[in-house]
Structure 1
């Protein structure tokens, strides 16, 4: 094990759970929550006396299907394993609703670096040791990215670093099924942390039978070089259609610029200039590019900008759109409740 001065890029690399995600609109379909008992594809439930760990790994990895027949895990060319639709998945369908195998408190962020990984790695090893055999097999079916300087860390710790998601309460959770969902810079699904420590992946658009379900591991409002640099922390160079084309770099950078502008202006106590046109332009760009993970934030900024300029009808319109996004994953999430409270605070006109 390396010394405690070694710092983890978990802060930068751990897949971050954005507060909101998804397209506004009707058509939400909820097809069931993933069972905490880890059912196998053939319906056989494993018990704590796991006889063949490798067989279980294969089952959890390459023969895993959702209990509602919506998706399956199978090899994805150049990516290891992936999650693929078995039938048409309508827009706004909840694809995976998963509770973590365990969570870790990452501790205090070291400015400019991240979290100290030594303590996290020890906590992961201890948490893994407490899992039953079925859960251990599910955990070990997740990939890990190992670098030369990682020799002192266990495979279990590196799996956690590679696949952990930042949750709403700041803890890091491991979700074996969601870990099989591969990255795209124009994903067809969105992910969010919701109540009870769960994480939900839902369809940002209709997904065809046989199509791979994808999410994002990195901020998308930057150019191709920036996204690839961030994704290198997982040990791969993204070759999705967006990165290969490089044609929307200007639009992605503009989204990032608008987001920074809005966060700065809306975060001030004193009212500044009218930024509603900027917020509505951000909404337009996000919708046009189909970035489901960014819609709730864009709608929120538009609602706040409209409210601050006294345009309460517009504020209500944008806040309702934001609320619909949150309700796709969990109508009782803290994000949905916060948006409802904002709506109730607006003057009736």
Structure 2
């Protein structure tokens, strides 16, 4: 998927809806035989319009075996429905490729930064903040090796990125024990974390780090700064998770 016009930061790029949703344990569990899975997949596929069916069968495959299960594993997005994990297949959304420094969130596709004309729109298959080796291990399950600018960078540059990401986790853990810290120390760690997040283009992680900052300041009795970061966390959860996200109410109660 390539941008045909300039897309502003935080602009909604597209909204895509699943055409095929399957419980994860149906694919990965042992309650069904291979034949039962194939028959049920074919039944579901044949209920779709011919155009959608053709589009699905044209999606990438990577794992081998039953074609429809391969397509789901390669292109599906994990969703939780009433506490149960599912894989959802979105025809257009599935064509948004991977990048370890993504510029959108799925599956309302939201731009995390300005996207230029002709630039590919990408999301990350690996959790944000992972190091190079961690990302590589995750992506092996998708059947490809990432060649984005971050993963293709010289080893020395990757090592710097990895060390910063590891430092970010250290700060998160340290702030989790904020009762033993001084306000001054918290005041040093917060801008350091924000600087790493900006440099590594990990903006979606602000939702979690703003919460951690708020809790740290609450632990040392600095309610003014705590309220500031609660408000910022609330704003970010609304932006990235929407009004119905489970963390919205939790932040308001905090």
Which category describes the TM-score, using the shorter chain as reference length? 0.7 to 0.9
The one of 155, 165, 168 equivalent to 1:255 is 165
Q: CA deviation at 1:160?
A: 0.4
Corresponding residue for residue 6 of structure 2: 88
- CA displacement at 1:278 relative to structure 2: 4.5
Query: Please, which of 169, 178, 182 is the counterpart of residue 97 of structure 2?
Result: 182
TM-score using structure 2 length: 0.79
Deviation, 1:173, is 1.3
Q: 1:167 to 1:221 in 2, by over 3 A?
A: same
1:34-183 correspondence to structure 2 within 5 Å: 83-107=1-25, 115-116=28-29, 119=32, 122=37, 124-146=41-63, 150=64, 153-169=65-81, 170-183=85-98
Q: Tell me, in whole angstroms, the C-alpha distance in 1 between the residues paired with 2:80 and 2:245.
A: 9
Alignment gaps of 5+ in structure 2: none
CA distance in 2, matches of 1:263, 1:174: 36
Instruction: Could you tell me which runs of 5 or more consecutive residues in structure 1 were left unpaired when the two chains were aligned.
Output: 1-82, 109-113, 192-198
Shift, 1:174, TM fit: 1.3
2:217 is matched with 306
Task: Check the 8 A contact 2:168/2:196 in 1, yes or no.
Answer: no
Distance 2:30 2:60 in 1: 18
1:222/1:253 contact within 8 Å kept: no
Write the mapping of 1:267-346 to structure 2, written as runs, cut at 5 A.
Answer: 272-274=179-181, 276=186, 278=189, 280-329=191-240, 331-335=242-246, 338-343=247-252, 345-346=253-254
Question: Which structure has more RCO (C-alpha within 8 Å, separation ≥ 6)?
Answer: 1
For residues 162-187 of structure 1, the C-alpha deviation after alignment (integer angstroms, 9 at most, x for no partner) is: 11111244322111211111111112
Distance 1:257 1:131, change over 3 A: farther
Alignment RMSD, CA only? Answer: 3.1
Q: Distance in 2 between matches of 1:126 and 1:265?
A: 52
Residues 252/273 of structure 1: CA separation in 2 closer, same or farther (3 Å cut): farther
Q: CA deviation at 1:242?
A: 1.0
Q: Which has more helix, going by share of residues?
A: 2
- Quote the Cα distance in structure 2 between the aligned partners of 1:273 and 1:128: 57
Residue deviations 1:180-229, cap 9 Å, x none?
A: 111111122233xxxxxxx2121111111111111101124233233223
Contact between 1:258 and 1:278, CA under 8 Å: does it hold in 2? Answer: no
Q: SS state of the match for residue 103, structure 1?
A: strand
Task: Encode CA deviations 1:11-39: one digit per residue, 9 max, x unaligned.
Answer: xxxxxxxxxxxxxxxxxxxxxxxxxxxxx
Deviations 1:264-290 (A, max 9, x none): 974x9xx75349455553333112221
Q: 2:3 touches 2:116 (CA, 8 Å); kept in 1?
A: yes
Q: What is the CA distance between 1:341 and its match in structure 2? A: 4.5
**Structure 1 SS opposite 2:211:** helix
Distance 1:307 1:339 in 2: 19
